[in-house]
Chains A and B, each alone.
Chain A
């Protein structure tokens, strides 16, 4: 098979599974890089799992090389070590870098503007391209996993697989720390932040005074400017004060660098106050205009 990976620099162990790395055809001129590892148990009988990281714009090779893949990269950036809890111990796992423009995926015309539905369509085409390369796997039970913004990628692709013409033995989907609703993600973060001790009484009282009425609070799209400003202060504490927003009780690796791609992700996550995110990014704390009383 042209895409089979037969040796990898830095691999000092002999894998007991096969692996392929190459390109799947999405829309005309769009090519998604895939990396496929067979199950270490029974590739014929074990399920096939598609893994998608989110972003939007981040690579599923993070899932492979840092999360659930069969091997990870040592800190020296040169040698590999085996992952004892690899998900390909019991499943065939396919990692796809999506959409085009992410990681090693590309578009002939170098045009990378896209949207949720187009990504789902491209992922569906890429999946059919995968099954054309590996027809034996059409019988295996099939699952789709998405993480983070993959909380939108996974269900939208799942709907195409479940209702599309392609014969795929689709059984279900899973979402890890997914974005499923902007409103609920915003609303819940304020409670999460306060009850994890990030805000203190002044800000919590001001949030309640300005965002709540008759016992119901709206931290997502309040019409009150005071409420919006206080919510932005709260988000600033979560995302701009030096905490590790991915894991509250872990240090922030590599200091407080910020990736514009990441910040845009936050803007996607917090659509309504996203335009202020840039201001927050360059300020150390609450914008000067806000008095916390």
Chain B
């Protein structure tokens, strides 16, 4: 079984081939690969209802952060993460503005010092899958600390 609306049959079939598992050095004794594990999900305990304090510590250590959202996702919608970043109480260092990919508006972003909030227009939960070009552009800008 897979999460609703997601079809991972192809990966599952490929990853569960004996010759693929051998090539990937997977012990033959292990159960078949599945996208999500009931064993783990069923027994998982969430400890953090918010990671606000963790972010504030990391930002205070001078680390760079990017919070990005495909803006058609409803599992973790962009508005909730936008409010999360704004709620950190950091001063905005840019206006909320568009970013461009391939001469089209690819979404919006705003920076608060070392942390950037960014949306990817029209993408869902798995941004690199549904907006691969803009996602690569965003990735490159973040890891090189360049402009979006």
Residues of A within 8 A of B (CB): 2-3, 5-10, 21-23, 33, 35, 47, 49, 55-59, 61-63, 65-68, 73-78, 80, 83-87, 89-91, 99-104, 106, 112-117, 141, 143, 147-148, 151-152, 155-156, 158-159, 162-163, 170-189, 191-193, 238-239, 243-254, 256-262, 264-266, 268-269, 271
B80 and A189 contacting across the interface, CB-CB below 8 Å: yes
Q: A184, B8: Cβ atoms under 8 Å?
A: no
**A174 → chain B closest CB, angstroms:** 4
Given contacts A57-B37, A152-B48, A189-B80, are A114 and B124 in contact (CB under 8 A)? no
Interface residue from B15, B23, B74 paired with A5 (Cβ < 8 Å): B23
Docked pose: A20 CA to B63 CA in angstroms: 29
Are B36 and A66 in contact, CB atoms less than 8 angstroms apart? no
Contacts of B2 in A (CB 8 A): 254, 257, 259, 262
Instruction: For A152, list chain B residues within 8 Å (CB).
Output: 46, 48, 51
Q: Shortest CB–CB separation between residue A33 and chain B, in angstroms?
A: 7
Would you call B33 and A174 a contact (CB within 8 A)?
no
15 more A-B contacts (CB under 8 A) besides A67-B128, A155-B54?
A6-B23, A8-B20, A68-B139, A87-B139, A91-B139, A141-B143, A175-B81, A189-B80, A192-B79, A238-B74, A246-B124, A246-B125, A249-B72, A261-B37, A269-B76
> B4–A250 contact, CB under 8 A?
no
Closest to B126 in A: A67
Total A-B Cβ pairs within 8 A: 367
A100 to B39: give the CA distance in the assembly, Å. 10
Instruction: Give Cα distance in the complex from A56 to B43, angstroms.
Output: 10
User: Which one of B25, B125, B130 lies within 8 Å of A3 (CB-CB)?
Assistant: B25
Query: Can you give 28 A-B contacts (C-beta < 8 A)?
Result: A3-B25, A9-B14, A10-B14, A22-B25, A35-B24, A57-B41, A57-B44, A58-B35, A58-B37, A67-B126, A67-B128, A77-B14, A91-B143, A99-B40, A112-B39, A143-B143, A151-B51, A155-B54, A173-B66, A174-B142, A188-B83, A192-B79, A247-B72, A250-B124, A259-B4, A261-B1, A262-B3, A271-B46
Say how far B32's CB is from chain A's closest CB, in angstroms. Answer: 10
Question: What string of 1s and 0s marks CB contacts (under 8 Å) between B82-100 and chain A?
Answer: 1110010000000000000
Tell me the interface secondary structure of chain A in the complex: mixed
Interfacial chain A residues near B105, Cβ < 8 Å: none
B residues near A245, Cβ cutoff 8 Å: 4-5, 73-75, 125
Number of residues from B at the complex interface, CB < 8 A:
89
The answer to whether B79 and A253 touch across the interface, beta carbons within 8 angstroms, is no
B contact set with A: CB distance below 8 Å: 1-15, 17, 19-21, 23-26, 30, 33-52, 54-55, 57-58, 61, 63-70, 72-84, 87, 114, 122-130, 132-133, 135-136, 139-140, 142-143
Bound Cα distance A213, B49 (Å): 24
Question: Are B50 and A183 in touch, CB under 8 angstroms?
Answer: yes
A253 with B128: CB separation less than 8 A: no
Chain A residues with CB under 8 Å of B30's CB are 104, 106
Contacting pair B69 A176 (CB below 8 A): yes
Could you tell me if A57 and B67 are in contact, using CB atoms closer than 8 angstroms? Answer: no
Known A113-B45, A178-B67; judge A252-B33 contact (CB<8 A).
Answer: no
Contact in complex: B65, A178 (CB < 8 Å): no
A184 x B36 contact (CB < 8 A): no
CB distance from A26 to the nearest CB of B (A): 13
CA distance A152 to B76 in the complex (A): 12
Query: How far, in angstroms, from A122 to B35 measured CA to CA in the complex?
Result: 20
Whether the pair A181, B43 counts as a contact (CB closer than 8 A) is: no
Complex CA distance for A102 and B135, rounded to whole angstroms = 26
Which residue from chain A places its CB closest to the CB of B133 in the assembled complex? A85
CB closest chain-B residue, reference A256:
B4
Residues of A close to B114: CB separation below 8 A: 172
